Chain A
């Protein structure tokens, strides 16, 4: 009886060893796989500034979308001729906003969000105002950079 019990113990021990080995193997295979599946962070081009447009390119009461740090941004020339730039990513569900000359403000087509010429929400679902960027004119170029 005793020897039979001992044999079972040894067998169980080997089973555990085999199980642990297989578990280890599964870990060795699955760990790199799961890490591989998670996309790496693409370093955003931040802090820099871009040439958004040439001086005179934008008539008053119009806007232009341009890439800024890998995301769309919008440069607008207000009806009274002031240049302003904002992120063009709507704070609601990240659609790209546009300038509506007929309304003379920024509008998001996806869910009818309205922003005024300072990026503040007028109406619609957007929870926050659009981030405003710094606009400087250097010679012929309209340069947009992050504030601060």
Chain B
């Protein structure tokens, strides 16, 4: 009976593409509405910022040249000669920063509402992997304009990677493409930024989004939904409305506060005073600075780096560690731990911003 509603074209394409199952699935998928429903937009906002990065990134590739002689000049060319180049580049920078921030917001809202509990453990794991990818995107992309601050930030950042026990030296060599930060590093970071990370992100993001669709939105423990709305078109339209607002915000920020380019990197010049990493790495930077040079028998820096690695592993395994959430219980200690983590990140970042660097 239902077949008769479809025309020849629909029958032809359905036989080959089997899209009706997806359409039917989306038509029946619902999103619960309750007082915390606003967090359901957070992932979508992150996705939108990622898409903006993809599009503006591809556009920048048209003019950008990854060599020590030309990188800075090509970005300068984009910003001063190419029509709307300043806009594209500023949006790319602003969107990158907002994305890093928003990934954290998305992660912590997922954490505090225990959205990682059964059956969504792997949605969380893929999300945590994308947090790492986002930071890697930010770190590699930062060097590409080949300016002074980025040059030294990369020097310090790769040096820190070199302090990881056993494999550190090799990681540093691999990242730098040599003993020092040179044009070879720029080439590598460029390749990592525009080929390797996007490839990884496509796969992991695909898994993440597929899992979100399959499992639907998680309802926070002991929260009752007032009602449900359909994902398509009701929720999707609201999502798109939020995206338009974010786009407006990006356009405004990029226009009123164009991202500066700074001075061209000079490998022979001394590091400028007051040098600091970008805000999203400040908590690590500040922690390493506050650690004493020796903790028991080990170097303070090495202990700090190990602690961050363990922290990353704990983050990845949160759904398996929070056994209470699996029984639909909100454990107070897990919440406290989360609040402490947020407080730590915020305080260290503020300290890093406020204290003089040297």
Q: Are B84 and A39 in contact (CB under 8 A)?
A: no
Question: Interface code A90-103, partner B: CB below 8 Å = 1, 0 otherwise?
Answer: 00000000000000
Q: Taking the complex as formed, is A47 at the interface, i.e. its CB lies under 8 A from any CB of chain B?
A: no
Question: Interface code A30-67, partner B: CB below 8 Å = 1, 0 otherwise?
Answer: 00110111111010000000000000000000000000
Which residues of the other chain, B, contact A29 by a CB distance below 8 angstroms? 247
Which residues of the other chain, A, contact B251 by a CB distance below 8 angstroms? 28
Q: Taking the complex as formed, is B210 at the interface, i.e. its CB lies under 8 A from any CB of chain A?
A: no
Q: Taking the complex as formed, is A25 at the interface, i.e. its CB lies under 8 A from any CB of chain B?
A: yes
B83 contact from A25, A28, A36, Cβ within 8 A: A36
A17 CB → nearest B CB, Å: 15
Q: Please tell me the number of chain B residues within 8 Å of chain A, measured between CB atoms.
A: 13
Q: Report Cα–Cα, A39/B82, bound state, in Å.
A: 7
Q: Report Cα–Cα, A40/B63, bound state, in Å.
A: 11
Q: Taking the complex as formed, is B244 at the interface, i.e. its CB lies under 8 A from any CB of chain A?
A: yes
B295 CB → nearest A CB, Å: 52
Which residues of the other chain, A, contact B85 by a CB distance below 8 angstroms? 36
A35 contact from B62, B81, B83, B244, Cβ within 8 A: B83
Q: Taking the complex as formed, is B71 at the interface, i.e. its CB lies under 8 A from any CB of chain A?
A: no
Specify the chain A residue showing the minimal Cβ separation from B84: A32
Specify the chain B residue showing the minimal Cβ separation from A38: B83
Which residues of the other chain, A, contact B83 by a CB distance below 8 angstroms? 32, 35-36, 38, 40
Q: Are A32 and B82 in contact (CB under 8 A)?
A: no
Interface residues of A in 81-116 (CB under 8 A from B): none
State whether A32 and B62 are in contact (beta carbons under 8 Å apart), knowing that A25-B244, A40-B81, A40-B82 are contacts in the complex.
no
Q: Taking the complex as formed, is B59 at the interface, i.e. its CB lies under 8 A from any CB of chain A?
A: yes
Q: Report Cα–Cα, A35/B88, bound state, in Å.
A: 11
Q: Are A32 and B244 in contact (CB under 8 A)?
A: no
Q: Report Cα–Cα, A52/B78, bound state, in Å.
A: 32
B53 CB → nearest A CB, Å: 15
Q: Taking the complex as formed, is B87 at the interface, i.e. its CB lies under 8 A from any CB of chain A?
A: yes
Which residues of the other chain, A, contact B62 by a CB distance below 8 angstroms? 37
Which residues of the other chain, A, contact B82 by a CB distance below 8 angstroms? 36, 39-40
Specify the chain B residue showing the minimal Cβ separation from A35: B83
A88 CB → nearest B CB, Å: 25
Which residues of the other chain, A, contact B81 by a CB distance below 8 angstroms? 40, 42
Question: 9 closest pairs, A vs B, by CB?
Answer: A32-B84, A35-B83, A40-B81, A36-B84, A35-B84, A40-B82, A32-B87, A36-B88, A36-B83
Q: Please report A residues at the B interface, Cβ cutoff 8 Å.
A: 25, 28-29, 32-33, 35-40, 42
Would you mind naming 24 contact pairs between A and B with Cβ atoms under 8 Å apart? Answer: A25-B244, A29-B247, A32-B83, A32-B84, A32-B87, A32-B88, A33-B84, A35-B83, A35-B84, A36-B59, A36-B82, A36-B83, A36-B85, A36-B87, A36-B88, A37-B59, A37-B62, A38-B83, A39-B63, A39-B82, A40-B81, A40-B82, A40-B83, A42-B81
Sample of 10 further A-B pairs with CB below 8 A, known A32-B83, A32-B84, A39-B63: A32-B87, A33-B84, A35-B84, A36-B82, A36-B84, A36-B87, A36-B88, A37-B59, A40-B82, A42-B81
